[in-house]
Chain A
Amino acid sequence: MSYLLKRIVFYVFTAWAAITINFFIPRAIPGDPVQALITRSRGQMTTEAVQSLYVLFGLDKDASLAEQYFSYLGQLLRGDLGLSFTYFPSPVSQVLGDGLPWTLGLVGITTVLGFLIGTALGTGIGWRRGSWADALIPVTTFVSSIPYFWLGLIAIALLTGPDSFFPASGAYDNGLVPNPDLEFIGSVVQHGILPAFTILVSSMAGWILSMRNMMVTVASEDYVTVAHAKGLSDRRVMVGYAARNALLPNVSGFALSLGFIVGGTLLVEIVFSYPGLGLQLFQAVGAKDYPLMQGIFLIITLSVLLANFLADVAYLALDPRTRREG
């Protein structure tokens, strides 16, 4: 199990690195962003809120850097990420709490589904190398080069409209109040299909290509020839011998590129005005809402680390050689 332990140490280290980056970056912001906000709020801010922003931005000139760092960590541990400028006077943690479930639902599900479907398709194309399926490769390459958000724009242009089933924006019908009844859930699904489809199509393409290449590489391994020599069924050789081994590098590739994929998928939210972290990030950039930007960076980083860890666990389950290690 020391493999997992090693990974956990690594993720804790990375999380610490992200937090530290988050600590130093605001100290490089020119001017005094907090003062501007305080002036704008005209005394509506409590002293505590002002103090919290000062800690966040290192405007506490009396404290040493070490003191600043520890009070920042302490504040983080309490879940205090400061106040959002855009959603003033909501604290950042509350804004994130509103956005995170939507992002987890949309991006989380589609990223995993995209990987699974793409890998399955890549398996088939790689296995039937030289057949008609190869004709899909140039198309797939082209699709994988399209930015996610642009595909979203095209989807909106082509598939939405006054008479269309698909709404062009939002996560649910504005007239509904979020509660777990059938009508609301139906509306959520209806709003989710198009953004989900966009992410699926663009993220699948990459996995198709990489799995296809791995299948081609693995197909000439000795154990696959042995499997053919044993007279096993085509399906058994393809799934149990070739794909089962080709999957391993694809899973670690998945873990490593999560940080990149998530960035792309967040933009789909912007295009569809989907009320998740991506849209909030967009608004935060527009309004120079530094606390919110940082909060989003932190929460996305932590989610990606967690997802990475889950991918590691999956890898561990898939590759017996890792289990022995250490």
Chain B
Amino acid sequence: MTVVPTTGTATPVAAPVKRRRLRFVANPKATTGLVILGFFALVAIIGPWIAPYDPSGRSNDLLQGPSAAHWFGTTHLGQDIFSQVVVGTRSVIVVGFIAGIVATILSVLVGVTSGYLGGAGSELLSALSNVFLVLPALPLMIIITSTLPETSTLTIALVIGLTSWAWGARVLRAQTLSLRGRDYVEAARATGEKTWRIILFEILPNLTAVIASGFVGTVIFAVTLEITLAFIGIGAGGDWNWGTVLYWAQSQQALAQGAWWWFVPAGLAIALLGTALSLVNFGIDEFVSPRLRGGGKTNVKTADGHTVRMRVGFTPVLATKAGPEGRETP
């Protein structure tokens, strides 16, 4: 018996029903996440226009705290931090999504192929994704980017995308392996259906949730990695992002000078974006695996006024007399 260790998403993927799609949008966690995400996407698009100052433009307000003129204060050069954070949103979102898309395409290609085809090639692909999985991402990224002649937002996004597909590929492979044995797939194969048609019409639709969750996971990973790289000084040329803001705060000893406003807003923005993405992923997890769903009320009131918590192993008893429709007991 082989044990395929997977986390959260390793639940049977039943044939999706239309009605369930709506339920995903109705999931409060997913909705909250999507709303926050929408906000950041909007800022990413219109950021350069709504930013009050040029993020690199210097002024005479050196190292000022938050004020009406500078909401998030200014840097040692008098740059407006609010503008830096607003303008920097675009780079963060772009890297997240490009890396997410690249990595998702790769993980689907590698994961589904190795899960469906089997044989030596499959084992090889699986080994390859495991190698990429255990290699420590940050040092690997550092030595790769250090050789690049120039690093733009796009190259950073591509490098992250090309190196972070392994987790998704692993989960997809496990799921594909289990789907391959299903009756309807076996039946399609027995009737001589073409392989690419089976994968496209029988396998992929049932992997939608897993792919989506992998995509969101990769976006979280890519955003964190981009910001981290920028923080240690491997950044996208002249582009601002939240990591660059923190890099300057760190290298100019913002802490020692008590300039908390320099690093707090960017950090909170990262955490907020990360939380939003996690919430979307929780929504997907609960959608796929109903056991995780909160299921509304978990505390119930009994007839004699006590509150009991619903839990496995001890079914709450609301009333010990006969129920509302019950007959009288002698």
Contact = CB atoms under 8 A, between A and B. Distances in A.
* Touch between chains A and B, by CB atoms below 8 Å: yes
Interface of A: 10, 13-14, 17-18, 21-22, 25-26, 28-30, 129-131, 141-142, 144-147, 149-150, 153-154, 156-157, 168, 210, 213-214, 216-217, 219-220, 224-225, 227-228, 237, 248-253, 256, 258-260, 262-264, 266-267, 270-271, 281-282, 285-286, 288, 290, 293-294, 296-297, 300-301, 304-305, 308, 315, 319, 321-322, 324-325
A249 B289 CA distance: 16
A154 B262 CA distance: 11
B146 A288 contact: yes
A202 to B, nearest CB: 11
A82 to B, nearest CB: 14
A145 B274 contact: yes
Contact of A253 (B5, B11, B233): B5
B228 A264 contact: yes
Given A258-B134, A263-B225, A282-B233, 12 more contacts: A10-B130, A21-B143, A145-B277, A149-B228, A150-B271, A153-B250, A157-B255, A220-B312, A253-B5, A294-B143, A325-B2, A325-B3
Contacts of B324: none
A227 B233 CA distance: 55
Contact of B133 (A219, A259, A324): A259
B291 interface: yes
A262 B140 CA distance: 12
19 contacts: A14-B130, A14-B131, A129-B311, A131-B309, A141-B275, A141-B278, A141-B279, A144-B278, A150-B267, A210-B7, A214-B8, A228-B314, A248-B3, A256-B167, A259-B134, A285-B232, A301-B135, A304-B134, A325-B3
A273 to B, nearest CB: 11
Contacts of A282: 232-233
Contact of A249 (B5, B231, B255): B5
Nearest to A14: B131
B1 A293 contact: no
B142 A281 contact: yes
B80 interface: no
Contacts of A17: 131, 135
Interface residues of B, number: 68
Given A149-B228, A297-B143, A14 B313 contact: no
**Closest A-B pairs by Cβ, 8 of them:** A145-B274, A263-B138, A130-B298, A228-B313, A252-B5, A150-B267, A259-B136, A297-B139
B329 interface: no
Contact of A149 (B7, B231, B234, B299): B231
Contacts of A285: 142, 146, 232-234
Interface in B189-229: 220-221, 224-225, 227-228
A253 B10 CA distance: 12
B310 interface: yes
B67 interface: no
B135 A14 contact: yes
Contact of B292 (A146, A217, A286, A305): A217
A253 B228 contact: no
B306 to A, nearest CB: 15
Interface in B248-264: 249-250, 255, 260, 263-264
Given A129-B311, A153-B267, A237-B313, A220 B147 contact: no
Nearest to B279: A141
A225 B312 CA distance: 7
Contacts of A216: 291-292
A25 B159 CA distance: 14
A158 to B, nearest CB: 9
A261 to B, nearest CB: 9
| Max chain A Cβ within 10 angstroms of own Cβ: one of B136, B147, B313 | B136
Contact of A217 (B136, B227, B289, B314): B289
A228 B138 CA distance: 45
A300 B10 CA distance: 30
Given A147-B267, A224-B313, A321-B3, A10 B127 contact: yes
B144 interface: yes
A239 to B, nearest CB: 14
B238 interface: no
Given A10-B127, A145-B275, A213 B285 contact: yes
| Max chain B Cβ within 10 angstroms of own Cβ: one of A28, A144, A145 | A145
Nearest to A234: B313
Contacts of B130: 10, 14
Contacts of A147: 224, 227-228, 231, 267, 270
Contacts of A250: 7
A47 B127 CA distance: 41
Contacts of A288: 146
B136 A248 contact: no
